[in-house]
Structure 1
Amino acid sequence: MEKRIKKIAIFFSLLFFITNCVFAQDTDGSRTLSQIITTLQEVYNVQFNYAEDVIEGVSLKSPTKNLSLEEVLTYLENNTTLSFTLMGDRFVLIKPTTDIILCGYLKRKDNLEVLSSATVQTSDSFTTSDKNGFFQIKVKNPLQLITIRYLGYKTIMKPYNQFEVSGCKDVYLQSNFQLLSQVIISNYITSGINKIDNGSFQIDFSNLEILPGLIDHDVLQSVQAFPGIQSVNETVSNINIRGGTHDQNLILWDDIKMYQSGHFFGLISMYNPHITQKVSLRKSGSDVSYTDGVSGTIEMQTNHEVNRTFKGVIGVNLTDANSFADIPVNESSSIQVAARKSISDFFETPTYTAFFDRISQNTEVASNATTITNTDKTFDFYDTSLRWIYNISDKDKLRVNFINVHNQLRFNENAIINQEEESRDSKLTQNSIAGALHYNRVWNDKLKTDFEVYETDYKLRAVNANILDSQRFLQENIVSETSTKLKVNYKLSNRLELLNGYHFVETEVTNLDDVDNPLFRFLVSEVVRTHGVFSQVGYKALNNKTNLNLGLRYNYISKFNKSIWEPRLSFSHQFFKHFALEILGEYKHQNTSQVINFQNDFLGIEKRRWQLSNDKEIPVITSKQISMGLNYNYSGWLVDIDGFYKIVDGITTQSQGFQNQYEFVKSHGRYDVKGVDVLFRKYIEKFSTWLSYSYMNNRYLFKDLETNYFPSNYNISHTATLGMTYALNNLKFSAGLNWHSGKPTTQPVFENQIIDKQVNYETTNASNLDDYLRLDISAIYNFKLSDKTRAHLGVSIWNVLDKENEINNFYRVKDETIMETVQKSLGLTPNAVFRVYF
């Protein structure tokens, strides 16, 4: 009996202790709602049912003691934005209240001035602040994202539960000190693709739905969705912007110039899509702070804001495994890391096989001399990226970027020599490594400075083993570039801004050819340094319908004692409510270009090498271009027409990839191209369909070769794309039909094909390959794995019809007979992806 009494006494003592722990107020003032619920379930023998994201981040003081369950639930409702409903005797349902209201007063942080007419919005609500800066808006749940925008100030984007919600508190906005670019056409092709008032196009991967044939946000494949952008051989290492060559594109990753574009030697982008948030494409009208890229600019950006919650992604597709993490360091700093690695080390997929066959087609890797067999062919790639942001203070911000990319192809050449089997290893590697530091400071409400410095290095190296001649042929192409830039933004008024700056670039290019039998070594290393000074005025009208950027850049190349003046213009004006006029123009130059010395260089896989201008037989490339466009946008309908004219001077025959009578001729000249880009688009909620068409007349003039103009190797006269995307709940589907006229080619003269054991060619580029046609489809399904984890599963098929498109051909004489070699595009190529977000 005494033992039973002791047990009962111990039980009530414990119960008394637990009850006091539940209802006693914490010394630090509050506990998380999750902690309170855990204790209440034990005390009142009830079960609370809720979604994790509903109570996440909610904290309050514990209820006082001696309250009934009903009184406790009333207390919780009065001190949170949640409802607590007793279902029967043992279950309590927690859900957001129907009306969660966020209110506050918007003010400038520096002088507490009231900000009226600022926009405040959620995904389904919208309001503006009144003359006192006051606003209020309905919110669905505590985690719903709220966006506050005001022209000339930094945008606030954060969930409801990160605001001061007890009463209507002051909300402070910081000056941005820069005229903000404004979206003038949203959903230009589909959701997430917009046209900006400075003449550029922007892809926001956080909002991008899906594109035909793509299940990953491949950066350089995605930009080819725009009219006037294509690749004559389907690779991202040969993107042609309005008829230009790939080396005439300025490719920037977080303001670092990149000299390499892709993995699989051009079949997929080397830029990790998870860390790359936005891509801007400029066909003309570049900002004066940019140099290089006489044909166009592709600018990639990571997220430049500090993240305060951890985010992660892991995934695998039929070419690689990948991961991404966005890690908060503290309230003022966060770091992003991303990595990809090919999966060919573990197993070979149909996609890998199709890609490998495509890159090795008509090269020494695929076939060698009849007495030689190639074995143990392997390909591997990886990339790593890093971005670190540190907000030193409200006025100072630091950003650090790093990227490392690697591609490697290996195979063995085997032959029977002196009745013994011998084997030698051939290898091709391609690497890029780059790093940058960016520092910007806001000095006052009118002045802001940006300082950036980067180092980018590219290396292409091939070891070609000639087993029959016991010879090793080593080739290297190395680019090392250092850049320093200072930009000063001065705000003359709320509508007028002045940009001034200085830019220094040092570029070194090294080329090596080394043979061991017989001994031969040819090494050339050159350096060019360029100083640039620029100034630009930006104007935005009060009604935001007129935007003007007018600037001038002065470049001095010290090695050549050469001065180059480059005016830049971008102008847009909206009129008659639904119409907009756009005029873009620019002068540009560049000191580097890619050339082909021999078609079998670097094993024939990546035969283009970078070289520097010497201002003589390799001139500094200069360009002039202007475009004028008109668009109509109303009720989901968009019609956009853009005419252009471009002249590029200083190109060389070696940079144009001739494979006819001019293949080994060294000369320099120019090309000009004129044409029109047209887009028709209809957007209805979750459905978007578009038809784009481009026409251009692209022609060369090499006075040392021919007195008259002749068609460019990149003169794709007609290009058309029909595409559609559709989203149904969690399922997204896309399909696209791509067609263009055939690439120009030079054929032998009929019935007189050979003269003096050489091909007797007809008029240069007078013929064309067959028309190109490709149908692509893709689908992605999103679903939840848990309350905090979601996933998506995607499949795609490139070239559904398995059409054998000709992308190139050339002729050679063998045994007094003409031999034609035809290069084919990718055939039917499937891909699949599984990815988890947490």
Structure 2
Amino acid sequence: MINKLSFFFISFILITSITFGQNSSDKIALSSLLLNLEKTYDIKFSYSDNDIKNVTITPPKKGLSLQDLLSYLNTNTTLQFNTLDNRYVTISYLNKLISICGSVFNATNLEPLVLASVRINNSKIGTVTNEKGDFYLQNVPVNAKVSISFISNKTKEILVKELFSSGGCKTIYIEEEVEELSEVRIAQFLTSGLQKNVDGSTVLNTEKFGILPGLIEPDILKTIKILPGIESVNESISNINVRGGTNDQNLMLWDGIKMYHSGHFFGLISAYNPYLTKKVAVTKNGTSSAFSDGVSSTINMQTSNRITNKFSGGGGFNFLSADAFLRVPIKDNIEFHVSGRRSFTDYLNTPTYNNYFARSFQNNSVASNSENDADSNFYFYDYSFKFLYDVNFNHAIRANFIHIKNSFEFKEEYTSNNNTIEENSNLIQENLGAKINWEADWSSKFSTNLSAFFSDYRINSSDYNKETEQFQTQFNNVLETEIKLHSKYEFSDVFHFTNGLVFNEIGIRNTTTVNAPSFSKTLKEVLLKSAFYSEIEYQKNKTYARFGFRVSHFNKFNKFILEPRVNIRQKINSEFSLKLEGEFKNQTTAQKIDFEDNFLGIEKRRWILSDNDKTPIIKSKQASFGVAYSKNKLILDITGFYKKVSGITAANQGFYNNTQTFNSIGNYETKGVEFLVNKQAKNISTWLSYTYSKNDYEFDIFNPQTFSNSLDITHSLSAAFNYSFTKNFKISLGNVLRSGKPFTKPIKGNETIQNGNNTIVNYDNPNKERLDNFFRVDVSGSYKFKFSEAIKSTIRIGFTNITDRKNIIDSYYIVDETAENNVRRIDNYSLPFTPNLSFRVNF
């Protein structure tokens, strides 16, 4: 027995020794190999001892030529072998490019981290991990560092040469974050794809969009209306009101291009294709000094800025339009992104289209004559291109183009006194934009971005009435160009310093012509302005602070305006945080509402430019303070705000009164409180938001001088419930309940007065009355499935206003001799019960 045990023991030792000897002989020290190779090939290697220290390699096969030998050494080490002549060979890391790979896991539960960010420091190279936590990168500088990050986990930095792919893919574990500022950032806010950023802005990631009540796709502007303090008094995304501001007081940016047109179908759906727009940041206060204009908010839309080196895309349709997008790699460092969308409303009338059409054209010439022999042709489209070129690891060029268009043609024939009358109306709204920018990393701490854009917005409409032989046209054109130099210097990991110079020119033209009686009016204004901004940002542990200022000079007025900005976030403990925001802003453009020149009810808003006299520069002052609580997926947020905007004119506010056409300069002041509670569980996300605000005008010309703003929504309450039956099947139910907007009635008993030869409505003091409360319930459902691992699909169905409630969103009066007291009230209603459906395929 002992002999057998001894035999097995000795055999085990021998086998282990042989195996160990074989494994240990697989690789040898590179320094030893080089000495042998110098003798064998009669060459001399030139290198630093530190470069080859601890480097091991499997010896090459015997009999290789010198060229094959160097190729073998280059492939199987992180070093670069170059021959100076047939005898001398240099060894270094200089300009060496290698391939790396790895697998990223959570250090606590050992689960793979999907979509973890893998980025090469100080370069444009990067990727994300797949469903197994794996990643792979080519052409990576061997001396660089890799940063691997994931939400709520610590960022880990690793030397590239430690991930050298010939040695196998390295397993990487990253730890969960315990006390970093990222805790202030809410990874999922209300629904997947919505996040609260460190600086307080709300970010919509369209690629990760979950589901919201009534929505069948991540409509950018419809989505932000669920946020506290953001309303749309007439249900239109072209009329988004942030903390009591008018829609023209929102700075709308698409990849850095200022856009003047935001909605298709006259504001009922967003004009920006969400499937190539990667993320949208909405800032209500404490804006970065890099942004000007938009005294109420900044809505910054950004498309993907990273070269994926992967052909991908998608497409789909709903009851109004069809769209598609593609990402096409041309070379390793060149990629092309394209998207397009077009309605089929000029070929097919769906129930959704019919409701949208009736909602858009109610109470105007189109709706009132629909029973006659009339024909309408309406369509919209948008498309965009993006060119991405990484010149090298430190320099990149990006170029963008976008075109948005709405076209409407209305032809009508009707009989009057045995005569056939024809009436033709045409309306075209479009916005073109283009931008090019050069991103440069001059060092690990200093970078710059030089960009230039132009934006061309125009609305062109005409109306011909054969009975009166009258032909009239309206034209509004905005042309803006801008050159901007932005720089960023990182003093340390916690201090960032940014500066910038901006040169801007904007021109606006307004033209109105009538042939009978002959009349023509053209007004063209041009304004040059320049600006310098500076900002310092601090972020460490529980504190985030950003202080900045912007100085603008208006060449035409020889005027300077200083705009300070502040944004502070402070965590008190793991649950509570405080926030303080403040800003001064200005803008030089506004929309004028033309009551007299309106003939379709759609094109009455025109952009106008400040002249520093009758149309002053609009200025705002805003401050807000809030407290946030977050624990166990329960989020509570309460914010008090105050905002005063001066330099507004009565012509761009849209209230009805006897002096609405007079030139009058005033201001509005709004103050209120925003409250949000959001509770999330494994399959449920439910939230309730409430906003209380008081919003008043002050105009010297009116009596009384102070009265309710036309956008004064005193109480606004919304609630929603999202439920996930499975990972792929979700539903969302929600409602909106808010106060009715103010409006003006005629003076009782004296409803009309004479104005020259015309009879007009004799309005009472403005905005004394209120419409009934607005109430709407929406529901939507989403189901995802796969045709294959590479082809994924989504079906969404949504129902707006499922109770079919007739909400009045606006009221005004017209002279009507057949009506009681010679006036008739006109009510505009919100969308009735409206279904919609979308189907998408992504690959």
Same fold (TM over 0.5): yes
1:126 equivalent in structure 2: 106
Q: Deviations over 1:9-57 (max 9, x none)?
A: xxxxxxxxxxxxxxxxxxxxxxxxxxxxxxxxxxxxxxxxxxxxxxxxx
* Residues 656, 763 of structure 2: 8 Å contact kept: no
Q: Kindly tell me: are residues 567 and 181 of structure 1, through their superposed partners in 2, closer, same or farther at Cα, counting changes over 3 Å? A: farther
Q: What pairs up with 1:441-456 in 2 under 5 angstroms? A: 441-456=440-455
1:191 equivalent in structure 2: 192
* Residues 265, 606 of structure 1: 8 Å contact kept: no
* Residues 122, 444 of structure 2: 8 Å contact kept: no
1:771 aligns with 2:742: no
* Residues 462, 603 of structure 1: 8 Å contact kept: no
1:38 equivalent in structure 2: none
1:274 equivalent in structure 2: 275
* Alpha-carbon offset, residue 150 of structure 1: 10
Matching residue's letter, 1:383: D
Separation in 1, partners of 2:94, 2:592: 54
1:732 equivalent in structure 2: 730
Separation in 2, partners of 1:480, 1:406: 16
* Residues 415, 467 of structure 1: 8 Å contact kept: no
* Residues 365, 374 of structure 1: 8 Å contact kept: no
Separation in 2, partners of 1:161, 1:263: 40
Q: What pairs up with 1:341-356 in 2 under 5 angstroms? A: 341-356=342-357
* Alpha-carbon offset, residue 685 of structure 1: 2.3
Q: Kindly tell me: are residues 621 and 161 of structure 1, through their superposed partners in 2, closer, same or farther at Cα, counting changes over 3 Å? A: closer
1:568 equivalent in structure 2: 565
Q: What pairs up with 1:142-291 in 2 under 5 angstroms? A: 145-148=115-118, 156-159=127-130, 160=134, 162=136, 165-167=165-167, 184-291=185-292
* Alpha-carbon offset, residue 787 of structure 1: 3.3
1:832 aligns with 2:834: no
Matching residue's letter, 2:794: H
* Alpha-carbon offset, residue 562 of structure 1: 1.0
Separation in 2, partners of 1:430, 1:679: 37
SS of residue matched to 2:359:
helix
Matching residue's letter, 2:598: D
Q: Kindly tell me: are residues 298 and 602 of structure 1, through their superposed partners in 2, closer, same or farther at Cα, counting changes over 3 Å? A: farther
* Residues 103, 171 of structure 2: 8 Å contact kept: no
Separation in 2, partners of 1:462, 1:432: 15
| Matched length | 701
Q: Kindly tell me: are residues 308 and 422 of structure 1, through their superposed partners in 2, closer, same or farther at Cα, counting changes over 3 Å? A: same
Separation in 2, partners of 1:702, 1:322: 47
1:325 aligns with 2:354: no
Matching residue's letter, 1:701: E
Matching residue's letter, 1:809: S
1:587 aligns with 2:584: yes
* Alpha-carbon offset, residue 749 of structure 1: 3.8
1:820 aligns with 2:791: no
* Residues 206, 277 of structure 1: 8 Å contact kept: yes
Q: Deviations over 1:126-165 (max 9, x none)?
A: 249xxxxxxx97659xxx6443479999765244252565
* Alpha-carbon offset, residue 778 of structure 1: 0.5
SS of residue matched to 1:352:
helix
Separation in 1, partners of 2:749, 2:790: 72
- Choose the corresponding residue for 1:787, options 779, 786, 789: 789
Matching residue's letter, 1:562: K
* Alpha-carbon offset, residue 191 of structure 1: 1.8
Separation in 2, partners of 1:611, 1:556: 19
* Residues 534, 552 of structure 1: 8 Å contact kept: yes
- Choose the corresponding residue for 1:664, options 658, 661, 666: 661
* Residues 498, 538 of structure 1: 8 Å contact kept: yes
* Alpha-carbon offset, residue 276 of structure 1: 0.7
* Alpha-carbon offset, residue 755 of structure 1: 5.4
1:696 equivalent in structure 2: 693
1:808 aligns with 2:810: yes
Separation in 2, partners of 1:523, 1:664: 18
2:388 equivalent in structure 1: 389
Separation in 1, partners of 2:709, 2:233: 12
Matching residue's letter, 1:388: F
> Percent identity among equivalent residues?
38
2:363 equivalent in structure 1: 362
SS of residue matched to 2:436:
strand
* Residues 314, 323 of structure 1: 8 Å contact kept: yes
Matching residue's letter, 2:608: Q
| More displaced stretch, 736-745 vs 153-162 | 153-162
Q: Deviations over 1:729-769 (max 9, x none)?
A: 21111111101000011223445544566544443212210
2:489 equivalent in structure 1: 490
Q: Kindly tell me: are residues 295 and 192 of structure 1, through their superposed partners in 2, closer, same or farther at Cα, counting changes over 3 Å? A: same
1:80 equivalent in structure 2: none
* Residues 365, 599 of structure 2: 8 Å contact kept: no
* Alpha-carbon offset, residue 599 of structure 1: 5.7
2:679 equivalent in structure 1: 682
1:338 aligns with 2:318: no
Q: What pairs up with 1:531-546 in 2 under 5 angstroms? A: 531-541=530-540, 543=541, 545-546=542-543
Separation in 2, partners of 1:297, 1:286: 8
1:647 equivalent in structure 2: 644
Q: Deviations over 1:679-737 (max 9, x none)?
A: 01101123100000001000000012235421100000000001121222211111111
SS of residue matched to 1:526:
strand
Matching residue's letter, 2:392: S
Matching residue's letter, 2:799: I
SS of residue matched to 1:365:
helix
1:115 equivalent in structure 2: none
Q: TM-score, normalised by structure 2?
A: 0.80
Separation in 2, partners of 1:658, 1:320: 34
* Residues 461, 602 of structure 1: 8 Å contact kept: no
SS of residue matched to 1:787:
coil
Matching residue's letter, 2:209: L
Q: Kindly tell me: are residues 491 and 828 of structure 1, through their superposed partners in 2, closer, same or farther at Cα, counting changes over 3 Å? A: same
Q: Kindly tell me: are residues 161 and 596 of structure 1, through their superposed partners in 2, closer, same or farther at Cα, counting changes over 3 Å? A: closer
Matching residue's letter, 2:831: L
Q: Deviations over 1:810-836 (max 9, x none)?
A: 112322522100000000010011111
| More displaced stretch, 755-764 vs 589-598 | 755-764
* Residues 198, 570 of structure 1: 8 Å contact kept: yes
2:16 equivalent in structure 1: none
- Choose the corresponding residue for 2:614, options 597, 612, 617: 617
Q: TM-score, normalised by structure 1?
A: 0.80
Q: Deviations over 1:491-550 (max 9, x none)?
A: 112211111110111110000111223332211111011100011111112x2x211110
* Residues 694, 712 of structure 2: 8 Å contact kept: yes
Separation in 2, partners of 1:679, 1:727: 22
* Residues 119, 127 of structure 2: 8 Å contact kept: yes
SS of residue matched to 1:405:
strand
Separation in 1, partners of 2:395, 2:802: 52
* Alpha-carbon offset, residue 373 of structure 1: 3.9
Separation in 2, partners of 1:412, 1:150: 60
Separation in 2, partners of 1:208, 1:562: 44
Separation in 2, partners of 1:774, 1:671: 28
Q: Deviations over 1:215-258 (max 9, x none)?
A: 11111001111000010001111000000000000000011100
Matching residue's letter, 1:249: N
* Residues 498, 537 of structure 1: 8 Å contact kept: yes
Q: Kindly tell me: are residues 614 and 145 of structure 1, through their superposed partners in 2, closer, same or farther at Cα, counting changes over 3 Å? A: closer
Matching residue's letter, 2:434: G
Q: Kindly tell me: are residues 111 and 323 of structure 1, through their superposed partners in 2, closer, same or farther at Cα, counting changes over 3 Å? A: closer
Separation in 2, partners of 1:546, 1:121: 32
* Alpha-carbon offset, residue 602 of structure 1: 5.3
Q: Deviations over 1:314-360 (max 9, x none)?
A: 21110001111111122212221111111123311000000111111
Q: Kindly tell me: are residues 150 and 734 of structure 1, through their superposed partners in 2, closer, same or farther at Cα, counting changes over 3 Å? A: farther
| More displaced stretch, 308-317 vs 209-218 | 308-317
Q: Kindly tell me: are residues 483 and 110 of structure 1, through their superposed partners in 2, closer, same or farther at Cα, counting changes over 3 Å? A: farther
Separation in 2, partners of 1:477, 1:627: 36
1:44 equivalent in structure 2: none
1:596 aligns with 2:593: yes
* Residues 800, 834 of structure 2: 8 Å contact kept: yes
